[in-house]
């Protein structure tokens, strides 16, 4: 963790490389504007937008203002946008040119008195040249730090190349690998839910939990990302980072503290405990799919191969039965799935508890279930059994009852104004400005995840396991259902 006291005595500068890009306009600029509105940015913090596009500061700031209004306009207070715009300057720099670092240094001024946070919202292929520019210009000295966006490679080997190139300029404590899922309110609440409540932690193991489901479903197809997606596929694009990060938070042992290393040490242990999926079990433990013609997200879909214009072995859907080989989770599978052109957009976690060892109420007693929804709305609910109201000749009857654990729903239920649903990047950008890397991904986490995923991809190749086509607008191929249903009594929470 970067020393906050060392950074606090310096003027802060946030350098957004890729400042005119899609991610910056949709997520990063609105996040920075809302941090400004809520008083989380120091009065003298400067923001420098860097991109190849030579549009000038005035035009760039106008575009940023429009992007912020489009994303969070209903939450903007008077004066916020005018104040935020004054922080920003735009510098046109091309990473292919040798003067990149020198020009940025000239814009920064006296670098010895600065605390600079670089956010590289660019293709990973540019991480190495940009870090080299930063280093040659002497802009990599502590406490300066760098935030890098996923993907960190497409396999273990390429991940190491990227990490090595960044590490040459910034040591591990000043390298912030961002996964925006870790900034979501409900994801962060997993730590509080598990380790702040005695009612849950004693039950959080294979003795009481039957299985866990994690689903990230998208209604859209690949769209303009086809070139990237055809190289990566669902397993590299979504499972290797987002899904496995959720597995870590759900399965980790209690950390000794909320410090960055204590949290991340426990996450790495989970990744290293994942049972390898090999040629012997890959067809039973995984499912691959690719969307074909159908109707999704309110529109007709031609199918992935038609959109690409040629045959493709890329999966747009993947489901995996993951097993964790340790004392806490032995015998409790984690079912993971993600896909495009599915019927609904949702990200959810289902903790399915085991049924009662003996029910005096017959078949009416259903197993408890903890349902954690991350999107489109964030919510946590617990299904418990409750006596059905009323009087019957047959005696006591049960019914299930959903207890909402959502703080936002509690506000709404009391007629109060609920807190604004923050953009996930807000929390992470603030942490990076403060030098707190607990919610960022450490290098050994990235590499442990890739090692496990590489084993699956290698097994697909060796067994010639091709994606099974599914109609757009459905929940994936038949093999995705078989994956969970072959374990008796288990089904997806569709």
Distance of alpha carbon 27 from its chain centroid, rounded? 13
SS3 (DSSP) at 364:
helix
CA distance 475 to 259: 39
Q: Is 336 left (phi over 0), alpha (psi -120 to 50) or beta?
A: beta
Tokens of 375: 């999107």
CA distance 296 to 310: 21
User: Positive or negative, the Cα torsion across 82, 87, 90, 95?
Assistant: negative
Q: Which residue has the tokens 């929390």?
A: 427
Task: Establish whether 133 is a catalytic residue.
Answer: no
Element (H, E) at 1: none
The single residue of 242, 285, 299, 371 carrying the catalytic annotation is: 242
CB atoms within 10 A of CB 466: 11
CA distance 144 to 2: 9
CA distance 415 to 426: 27
CA distance 367 to 212: 13
CB 32 within 8 A of CB 84: yes
Strands 334-339 and 209-217: parallel
Q: Which of 95, 70, 493, 463 has its CA nearest to residue 285?
A: 463
Q: For 117-239, where are the alpha helices, taking DSSP H only?
A: 127-136, 156-167, 185-195, 226-234
SS3 (DSSP) at 221:
coil
Q: How many angstroms separate the most distant Cα atoms in the chain? A: 86
CA distance 421 to 408: 9
CA distance 395 to 16: 66
CB 383 within 8 A of CB 402: yes
Give the residue numbers marked as catalytic: 242
């Amino acid at each position: 963790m970067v020393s906050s006291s060392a950074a606090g005595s310096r003027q802060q500068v946030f350098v957004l490389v890729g400042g005119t890009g899609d991610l910056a306009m949709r997520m990063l600029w609105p996040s920075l504007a809302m941090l400004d509105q809520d008083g989380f940015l120091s009065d003298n913090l400067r923001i420098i937008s860097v991109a190849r596009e030579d549009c000038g500061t005035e035009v760039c700031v106008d575009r940023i203002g429009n992007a912020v209004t489009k994303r969070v306009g209903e939450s903007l207070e008077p004066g916020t946008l005018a104040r935020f715009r004054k922080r920003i300057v735009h510098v046109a720099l091309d990473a292919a040119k040798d003067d990149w670092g020198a020009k940025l240094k000239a814009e920064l001024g006296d670098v010895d008195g600065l605390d600079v946070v670089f956010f590289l919202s660019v293709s990973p292929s540019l991480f190495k040249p940009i870090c080299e520019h930063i280093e040659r210009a002497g802009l990599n000295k502590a406490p300066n730090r760098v935030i890098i966006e996923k993907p960190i490679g497409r396999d273990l080997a390429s991940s190491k190349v990227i990490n090595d190139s960044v590490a040459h300029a910034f040591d591990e404590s000043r390298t912030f690998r961002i996964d925006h899922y870790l900034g979501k309110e409900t994801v962060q609440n997993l730590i509080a839910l598990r380790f702040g409540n005695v009612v849950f932690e004693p039950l959080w193991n294979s003795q009481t939990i039957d299985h866990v489901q994690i689903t990230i479903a998208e209604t859209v197809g690949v769209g303009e990302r086809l070139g990237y997606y055809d190289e990566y596929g669902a397993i590299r694009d979504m499972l290797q980072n987002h899904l496995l990060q959720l597995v870590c938070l759900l399965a980790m042992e209690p950390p000794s503290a909320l410090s960055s290393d204590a949290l991340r040490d426990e996450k790495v242990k989970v990744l290293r405990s994942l049972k390898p999926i090999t040629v012997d079990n890959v067809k039973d433990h995984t499912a691959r799919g690719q969307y074909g013609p159908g109707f999704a997200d309110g529109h007709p879909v031609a199918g992935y191969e038609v959109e690409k214009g040629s045959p493709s072995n890329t999966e747009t859907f993947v489901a995996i039965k993951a097993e964790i080989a340790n004392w806490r989770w032995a015998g409790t599978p984690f079912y993971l799935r993600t896909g495009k052109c599915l019927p609904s957009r949702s990200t959810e976690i289902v903790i399915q508890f085991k049924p009662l060892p003996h029910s005096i109420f017959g078949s009416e007693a259903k197993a408890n279930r903890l349902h954690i929804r991350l999107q489109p709305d964030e919510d946590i609910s617990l299904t418990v059994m409750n006596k059905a109201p009323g009087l019957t000749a047959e005696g006591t009857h049960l019914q299930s009852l959903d207890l909402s654990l959502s703080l936002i729903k509690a506000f709404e239920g009391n007629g109060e104004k609920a807190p604004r649903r923050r953009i996930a990047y807000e929390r992470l950008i603030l942490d990076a400005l403060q030098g707190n890397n607990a919610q960022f991904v450490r290098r050994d986490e990235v590499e442990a995840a890739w090692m496990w995923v590489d084993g699956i991809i290698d097994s697909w190749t060796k067994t010639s396991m091709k994606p099974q086509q599914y109609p757009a607008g459905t929940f994936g191929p038949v093999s995705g259902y078989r994956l969970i249903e072959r374990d008796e009594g288990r089904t997806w929470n569709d």
